[in-house]
Amino acid sequence: MVRRLLPSAAVAEEEVAEPVGPPFERYWWLWLLLLLLLVIGGLLAWYFLSRGDDKAVVPNVIGLREQQAEIRIEGRGLEALARTAQSNRPQGVVFAERPGAGTQLDKGQTVTIFVSSGRLAVPDVTGSRLAEAQQKLQALGFKVEVKRVASTKPKGFVIDQDPVAGVSALRGTTATLTVSSGANPVVVPRLVGQTQGDAVQALTALGLKPLLQNVPSDQPAGTVVGQKPPAGKEVDKGAEITVNVSTGTGQPTTTATTTTTTATTTGTTTAAAPVRVPRVVGLAQTPALRRLNLLGLQPTVVYVRSSQPANRVVSQSPKSGSSLRPGARVRVNVSTGPNPQPNADVPNVVGQDQATAAQTLRDAGFKVAVLNRPTVDQSKDGLVVEQQPRATSSIPAGSQVTIFIGRFSG
């Protein structure tokens, strides 16, 4: 009633007071918590950043020499492990590394570097034109020597090669190519059993040159008891043919040498002097077998699982320094490498000629190495007289099979 009677301007407007917040000091713990979080974050960042001191990045060493690569890797605090393998890089140069460049490792871990042995598989150029064969071999770093022979093959085509295809050889090795001259070859006639005069007449009529050698024999004097090359061999017109003619002075006595595996003849035989077994552990298979073969010892190859590089000799029996008679067996254990391929059976090539045997083994998936072995059996000249590993052996595909070719020594 009173409010109605009063003037409207006199009515005072009511004021609403806003609540007052608590003082600032009451939220000090929030600021302390924020500061604590900042300190912890800083410590964590320092910890993770400082851990990088225990890490190292693998450097790129491909293309460097082995020693330089090792120095660079060890300079990063890593260990270097060198392994030798075949590559088209020059000998002693790194062609691969594992793990690859740029990989982060803990310091002290190992980086495996693969160093080129400088060895390459000789390509098959038989049947090619000479120019093509030369270009193919020289592109791989091989030197080429040409030998022209009479042949029924077209002129200018490669009919044989040495080393044979599939053999591992160093860059710079000379490959001898036998090239057809286009002239018809002359087939060597059988002379053994004929008289000296008849043999000379037969050779002269064919345009061949007889080279006479007198040898002791129980055959009648003047009788041909041996010849080289053997009957049936194709040679150039004008080639020299060695003819062994009996002196009729009795049976010959064989003197043992370190390059023969046996010392048997039709007469008496003197005992072969013993030889010392060389150390072949650590060598590649071919040089190891060649060393034993030259001493007249006969290697037996057995492939074994090993962490050593493939094709390296890891053990031998008997041990080096042992005394053996020529012709004795020496077991050579050869590494299959850490990751061998599945096994395959070795075909039998004994009795085949070199080219046929090598092709048979390559077709079966094996590499081929060729070594010569003296023989007094003329019928085995130019043929495979032994193979290692032996036929029917089960070895990793791609492994090496060595064939021993008989070379008639008269």
Angstrom distance (rounded) from CA 320 to CA 406 = 27
Backbone angles phi, psi at 380, to 5 degrees: -100, 5
Query: Nearest to residue 162, comparing CAs of 184, 147, 150, 149?
Result: 147
Q: Going residue by residue through the chain (410 aa), what tens digit of pLDDT does each one get?
A: 445 544 554 444 455 555 555 555 566 777 788 888 888 888 887 766 655 567 899 999 998 999 899 999 999 889 999 888 777 788 889 999 999 999 999 888 999 999 887 777 788 898 899 999 999 999 888 899 998 887 777 888 998 888 887 777 777 888 899 898 877 778 888 898 899 989 998 898 888 999 998 888 888 888 898 998 888 787 888 889 999 998 877 554 333 333 333 333 333 334 457 888 999 998 999 989 999 998 889 999 999 998 888 999 999 999 888 888 888 999 999 999 888 888 999 999 998 888 888 888 998 889 999 998 888 877 788 889 999 999 888 999 989 999 999 887 65
Is 116 in a helix, a strand, or coil? strand
Angstrom distance (rounded) from CA 117 to CA 370 = 19
400-408 vs 224-228, strand pairing mode:
unpaired
Cβ atoms within 10 A of the Cβ of 274, count?
13
Angstrom distance (rounded) from CA 301 to CA 107 = 41
275-276 vs 323-324, strand pairing mode:
antiparallel
**Torsion over CA of 76, 77, 78 and 84, rounded to 10 degrees?**
70
Q: Which two tokens stand for residue 370?
A: 């060729």
pTM of the model: 0.40
313-317 vs 275-276, strand pairing mode:
unpaired
